[in-house]
Amino acid sequence: MSEEMITVNMTVNGEAVSKTIPVRTHLVDFIRTELGFTGSHLGCEHGVCGACSVRVDGDVVRGCLLLAAQADGCEVLTIEGITDTGEISDLQEKFVERNALQCGYCTPGMLMTAAELLAQKTEMSRDDIREYMSGNYCRCTGYHAIVDAIESINNERLGG
Amino acid sequence: MGFIHPYDRPNSYIGRTLPRSRAKRAVAGRGRYTDDITPPRTLHAAFVRSPYAHAKILNIDVEAAKDASGVKLVMTGSELAEMCTGPWVGTLKVFENMKAEPQHPMAVDRVCWHGEPVVMVIAETRAQAEDAGELVVVEYEELPVVINKETALDPGSPVIHANLGDNKAWEHTLGSGDVDKAFEEADHVLEETFYFGRHTAVSLEPRIVLCEYDKGTEQLTIHTSSQCPHMIETVFAQTLGVPEHNVRIVAPDVGGSFGLKIHTFGDEIAATAAAIQLGRPVKFVADRLESFLSDIHARENRVKAKIGIMNDGTMIAAEIDDLSGVGAYSQYPRTSVFEANQILNISFGPYKHPNYRARAQVVYLNAVPTSQYRAVGHPIGISVGEFMMDWAADVTGLDPFEIRRKNIMEDDSYPRPIGSGIPMKDLSHQACLEKLYGLMAYEDLLSEQTELRKKGIYRGIGVAGFIKGTAPSPVGYYGAGGARIAAQDATTVKLEPSGGVIVALGVTDQGQGVDTVMEQIAAAAIGCSMDHVRAISGDTDATPYGGGTYASRATAIGGEATYQAALDLRREILHMAGILLQADPNELDIVDGHVVNDGSNEPRIPLSEIGRIGHFQLGELPNNYQPVLSHTRRYRLQDSPYIYTNGIHGAYVEVDVDTGWIRHLKHWVVEDCGRIINQQLADEQIRGGCVQGLGGALYEHCIYDDYGQLQNGTMADYVTPMMSEMPDIEIDHIQTPTSESELGAKGAGESGTGAAPGVVMNAVNNAIKPLTDGRVTEQPITPEIVLGALGKI
């Protein structure tokens, strides 16, 4: 049985890409293996852990639950893309300073979601942060340092 | 030596919080994990796994799979066995009378657990390999299943491995004093039975191997997500008959490990065999379902405990009887009996009781093999001991802090053995307990608890002390047991021509910050800036042979090796500087990368000049001095079996007495992990460890049905802690350096996991105490269990 193929066109991290791929290719596999952006990780491949979180047309989605074909015509940003734009450079620096990551496998997805939360530019409690971030699992840190880092950047941004 | 005291020199990095360089690339999405590496012409492996817990393999038909699109190889268990030097037998000589069935990397004629690998398919893509796997037809004849540890030793029980006679893997007893007499003399004898649910590591990056075999040089290179590259090298070389010096293991960034990644697995051997046979790179990544079905599991235990207490709260005797349900085989080469062994070793470990008796029985089950997972045995032993201590407090009318004050070993009473016979030294139970009392503002919590109870809000305060075995010695288990697993470790410290320093480590970094800690130690010992030091770890071609990172040993063992190697390099630098400056080396010092006169910070010669002359301008040195500038030191514990640490946790929880729901409000830890090298990294090890322990205590459970079918193989129904469920965790320290080493560091990576389950169980029981005589004695503590203890269901 020959593999059914499809041609997809999208913008990934600011660059237009066009590839012919098996129709069953998930978005995150497409980004990792076809485009070489390996910052988005696969933790569960069933939409629970959040390690594959990417931004599609402005919304953070699970890269493992979307087919690449579904993102045809979309604007996709990964951790590499939002690193290059400098959008979360303050948060990234804080994550390093506060050691809000250990193995780093969940971190790109964690930062994608945190960027979305911080973009709300609103007062938030530690419990609010914990609630919003609960779709991103971390097995190393125990979460406390992640909450510290996000809280501190939110305060800095609101204060600034 | 003055270098290990904080802040008294420009390069005193010991005790400072410094960021990790690996973290900087990880936040940019530029970490490099094994699956991020794909050499040209890489093939992909998928496995056909047993759908049965126990069955005879009658026939395997792979013809259709071989013809499928993209398929390059289909290999059965018997074909793989022919490429291997022999099956694994997971025993160690130190575990007397232990029995284990030989285990092939893939099943040969019989499957013994749901998920055991049976056939491997190699194809151009993973999807094609999985498609072809669907075409493999395996005929099975089901065999009786042993899945209940409570009946596994009954005379009528089916026996999994006929050659072993019964299902018992090992039985062990230990103790001291006259336990029976003490129970007779005790004012109160308390007995309880506890159940602990099997759980597993769930590293977010699953197990993975990328295997490459060069048929010209006969060199085998495996990139893999491993904590112990040298041990993996040894096991792969042995199993596949490749000379060990031709094997290179590279562990790049490792996405979580927690003990899972000290082990070897049959599917990884199979993928490597395929790479050897095909001469092309082969990658195998366990998907999440496969991870639940094949990663080691841990902690399936039933423990009966009994203590004797006097009216004044003094504990005079303790007894435990553990029944461990391990898997279908004993995990090679570390075995599956350590959990039971550690429970016996450490239960009631903080206390002075003179009479102790402990027995463990370990039985095989038709389930995933169990073995070492973070804090082996400790969550169980600590939960049991600390529950009994709280119960004794209730019976004698003492406060939980007060009964512990009465029974813990005094800080000035070491060295001394505990009831299991294990020697203790350099501990600080009293100092930690008093610090926790203040840290958690215990009296304020009591007042708040009382007030809220009047409003129908049930909050509980928990306390749990512990000892934790870290950094095992070579005389205790692996070495004496005959396993080729290094309990010593090694570091090479080299001065480069530029004056930069390379620190090559036998221990490894999975995000704990081991590389950074070692750079801190080396820079402090030499007397140079951190910027001039770079650690290398996780590559067996580039690092001296070592045990890797397991059992909270990296800083305690590897750190001392690094410290001593760096001091050797420092001595040589001073020797060479003495020649070049015509000075007495004893009157020279190194500060900020420059040799100076002792007591002065005025530079006389920089390390870059020492490097340049030592590597290139040898004519400036006398013929009788040949520079080495590369020093390797090894370090091991000698007489002590472990470096023990101690500490105490506090927890504050709220229980919804209508739904049984537990909300963990706040967690405190006071810990003595000896000399701290990097405080933030130590704190985060403890915090992460706590949450892993809380996961096991509250949510995580590998559930089997009566037929040995694993019922929950996704992260949606095997529940690990989410951010919203976990509390803030406040940490403080007592630092009692271990007298085993000059550096004085003990292990810190696992104790959080060890003690958190016990403290949360105590807090839950404290919360529901006004409402019931029932107690929670089972983990994970689901709402159903809480409601059961409340007598509501």
- Tokens standing for B52? 């049965």
- Contact between B526 and B445 under an 8 Å Cβ cutoff? The reply is no
Q: In this complex, do A104 and B31 lie within 8 Å of one another by their Cβ atoms?
A: yes
Dist. CA B765–CA B776, nearest whole Å: 6
Q: How far apart are CA B38 and CA B637, in angstroms?
A: 40
Angle at A55 (CA atoms; ends A49, A60), nearest 5 degrees: 50
Give the CA distances from residue B236 to residues B49, B265, B510, in Å, rounded to whole numbers and listed in that order. Answer: 22, 10, 21
Q: Examine the domain organization and report whether B93 and B230 are in the same domain.
A: yes
Strand partners, B110: B56
Distance between A79 CA and the closest CA of chain B, angstroms: 6
ipTM of the complex: 0.98
In this structure, are B495 and B586 located in the same domain?
yes
Give the integer Cα–Cα distance in Å for A73 and B657.
52
B44 within domain boundaries: yes
**For testing the chain A interface, which of B16, B208, B723, B753 should be mutated: the one with the most A CBs within 10 Å?**
B723
**In the structure, what pLDDT confidence band is assigned to residue B8 with cuts at 50, 70 and 90?**
confident
Q: What is the 3-state secondary structure (H, E, C) of A18-84?
A: EEEEECCCEHHHHHHHHCCCCCCCCCCCCCCCCCCEEEECCEEEECCCCEHHHHCCCEEECHHHHHH
A70 and A129 assigned to the same domain: no
Asked if residue A91 and residue A125 are part of one domain, the reply reads yes
| B5 within some domain | no
- Enclosing domain of residue A70: 5-82
Chain A environment of B26 (Cβ under 8 Å): 101, 103-104, 107
Per-residue pLDDT of B388-431, as tens digits, reads 999 999 999 999 999 999 999 999 999 999 999 999 999 999 99
Identify whether residues B45 and B94 lie together within a single domain: yes
A38 and A99 together in one domain:
no
Torsion region of B116: left, alpha or beta (phi above 0 gives left; psi -120 to 50 gives alpha) = beta
Would you say A38 and A19 are in contact if contact means Cβ atoms under 8 Å apart?
A: no
Distance of CA B293 to the CA centre of its chain: 20
Determine how many CB atoms are found less than 10 A away from the CB of residue B286: 21
Number of domains chain B contains:
3
Q: Are residues B307 and B261 in the same domain?
A: no
Residue B535 tokens read as 């650690």
Angle, to 10 degrees, between the axis of helix B559-581 and the axis of helix B607-615? Answer: 80
CA distance B690 to chain A (A): 7
Chain A residue at shortest CA distance from B204: A43
Among the partner residues B29, B256, B288, nearest to A103 by beta-carbon distance: B256
- DSSP class of B409: P
In terms of Cα–Cα distance, which of B152, B114, B163 is closest to B363? B152
Asked whether the beta carbons of B535 and B516 are under 8 A apart, the reply is yes
CATH number of the structural domain spanning residue B621? 3.30.365.10
Last residue in a domain, options A46, A63, A82: A82
Q: How many domains does chain A have?
A: 2
Question: The domain that contains B118 carries what CATH number?
Answer: 3.90.1170.50
Closest residue to A141, CB basis, from B22, B28, B687: B687
For residue range B173-221, list pLDDT tens digits in order: 999 999 999 999 999 999 999 999 999 999 999 999 999 999 999 999 9
Residues A93 and A146 reside in one and the same domain: yes
CB pairs under 8 A between A and B: 178
Both tokens of B322, joined, read: 């553990």
Of the candidates B33, B256, B288, which has its C-beta nearest A140's C-beta? B256
Chain A residues with CB inside 8 Å of B24's CB? 96
Residue A155 forms contact with B (CB below 8 Å) = no
At residue B163, the pLDDT reads 97
Nearest Cα of chain B lies from the Cα of A73 at a distance, in angstroms, of 24
Quote helix, strand, coil % in chain A, to nearest 5: 40, 20, 40
Domain with residue A65: its CATH number is 3.10.20.30
In chain B, residues with a C-beta closer than 8 Å to the C-beta of A78 are: 29
The DSSP letter of residue B68 is: S
A contacts of B29 (beta carbons < 8 Å): 37-40, 78-80, 83, 108
Provide the pLDDT for residue B21. Answer: 85
B41-93 confidence digits (pLDDT tens): 999 999 999 999 999 999 999 999 999 999 999 999 999 999 999 999 999 99
User: Which residues on A lie below 8 Å from B752 (Cβ)?
Assistant: 142
Closest partner CB to A143 (pick from B22, B26, B726): B726
Cα–Cα distance for residue pair B98/B92, rounded to 1 Å: 8
Q: Under a CB-based contact definition with an 8 Å cutoff, are residues B671 and B432 in contact?
A: yes
Regarding whether B341 and B229 lie in a shared domain, the answer is no
User: Residue B723 and residue A37: Cβ atoms within 8 Å?
Assistant: no
Does A70 lie in the same domain as A120?
A: no
CA distance B36 to chain A (A): 6
Question: Could you say which of A37, A44, A78 has the minimum Cβ distance to residue B715?
Answer: A44
Residue A144 and residue A99 in one domain: yes
DSSP B622: -
pLDDT band at B2 (very low <50, low <70, confident <90, very high): low
- Token digits of residue B737: 């350096």
- Model confidence over B251-289: pLDDT tens digits? 999 999 999 999 999 999 999 999 999 999 999 999 999
**Are β-strands A5-12 and B55-61 bridged in parallel, bridged antiparallel, or unpaired?**
unpaired
Element housing A58 (H / E)? none
- Spatial separation of the C-alpha atoms in residues B172 and B313, rounded to whole Å: 30
Do residue A35 and residue A73 come from a single domain?
Answer: yes
Q: Are B305 and B320 in contact (CB under 8 A)?
A: yes
Residue span of the structural domain in which B349 resides: 297-474+639-789
Question: Do residue B566 and residue B623 come from a single domain?
Answer: yes
Do A74 and A99 reside in the same domain of the chain?
Answer: no
What confidence score (pLDDT) does residue B203 get? Answer: 98
pLDDT of residue B421: 94
3-state secondary structure (DSSP) of residue A91: helix
Tell me which residues of chain A, numbers 48 to 77, contact chain B at a CB-CB cutoff of 8 Å. 48-49, 51
Q: B219 φ, ψ to 5°?
A: -95, 135
B135 and B276 share a domain?
A: yes
**CATH assignment of the domain containing A97:** 1.10.150.120
Q: What is the pLDDT of residue B1?
A: 47
**Tens-digit pLDDT profile for residues B717-748:** 999 999 999 999 999 999 999 999 999 999 99
Strands B137-142, B630-635: pairing is unpaired
Residue B704 lies in a domain: yes
**In the predicted model, what is the mean pLDDT of residues B520-524?**
97
| Secondary structure of residue B86 in the 3-state scheme | coil
Identify residue B647 by its one-letter amino acid code: G
Q: List, as ranges, residues 99-128 from A with C-beta within 8 Å of B.
A: 99, 101-108, 111, 126-127
**Looking up tokens 């963990």, which residue turns up?**
B664
> Cβ of A39 under 8 Å from any chain B Cβ?
yes
B87 contacts: CB under 8 Å, gap ≥ 6: B81, B102, B103, B104
* Burial bucket for residue B86 (CB in 10 Å: 0-12, 13-18, 19+): exposed
Q: What three-state secondary structure class fits B125?
A: coil
Q: Do residues A66 and A101 both lie within one domain?
A: no
Other beta carbons within 10 Å of B590: 24
- DSSP classification of residue B390: H
Place of tokens 């013929």: B623
Edge-to-edge order in the sheet of strand B219-224: B71-76, B117-123, B43-49, B282-285, B208-214, B219-224, B247-250
Q: Is the CB of residue A144 less than 8 Å away from at least one CB of chain B? A: yes
Give domain status of residue B65, yes or no: yes
Which of A44, A64, A82 is the endpoint of a domain? A82
Cα R_g (chain A), whole angstroms: 16
Residue B768 lies in a domain: yes
**Whether residue A90 is found in the same domain as residue A121:** yes
**Same-domain pairing of A111 and A47:** no
Asked whether the beta carbons of residue A22 and residue B127 sit closer than 8 angstroms, the reply is: yes
> Residue A13 CA to chain centroid, in angstroms?
12
| Contact between B256 and A2 using a beta-carbon 8 Å cutoff | no
Question: Tell me, what's the pLDDT at B439?
Answer: 98
Does one domain contain both B312 and B452? yes
Query: Mutating which of B27, B43, B226 best tests the A interface, going by the most A Cβ atoms within 10 A?
Result: B27
Contact B19 A99 (CB under 8 A): yes
Measure in Å the smallest separation between the Cα of A96 and chain B Cα atoms: 6
Cis peptide before B51, with omega less than 30 degrees from 0? no
pLDDT the model gives residue A1: 55
How far apart are alpha carbons B639 and B646 in whole angstroms? 19
Mean pLDDT (chain B, rounded) = 97
- The shortest CB-CB distance from B688 to any of A32, A102, A134 is to A102
Q: What is the pLDDT of residue B106?
A: 98
Cis-peptide, bond into residue B102, ω within 30° of zero: no
pLDDT tens by residue, B348-381? 999 998 999 999 999 999 999 999 999 999 999 9
In this predicted model, what pLDDT tens digit does every residue of B565-580 receive, in sequence order? 999 999 999 999 999 9
Tell me: pLDDT of A142 over 60: yes
Q: What is the mean pLDDT of residues B591-611?
A: 95
Distance from CA of B483 to the nearest CA of A (A): 29
- Please tell me the distance from the alpha carbon of residue A109 to that of residue A94, in angstroms, as a whole number: 16
Q: How far is B205 from chain A (nearest CA, A)?
A: 6
Chain B residue with Cα closest to A142: B688
Q: Are B324 and B300 in contact (CB under 8 A)?
A: yes
Contacts of A43 in chain B (CB under 8 A): 204-206, 288, 715
**Final residue belonging to a domain, choices A47, A82, A117:** A82
Query: What are the residues whose beta carbons fall under 8 Å from the beta carbon of B659, sequence distance 6 or more?
Result: B783, B787
A44 shares its domain with A108: no
pLDDT at position A151 is 98
CB B387 within 8 Å of CB B701: no
How many Å separate Cα B740 from the centre of its chain?
21
Kindly state the percentage of chain B with pLDDT values over 90. Answer: 96
**Shared domain check, B437 and B517:** no
Q: What is the DSSP letter of B554?
A: I
Q: How far is CA B532 from the centre of its chain?
A: 31
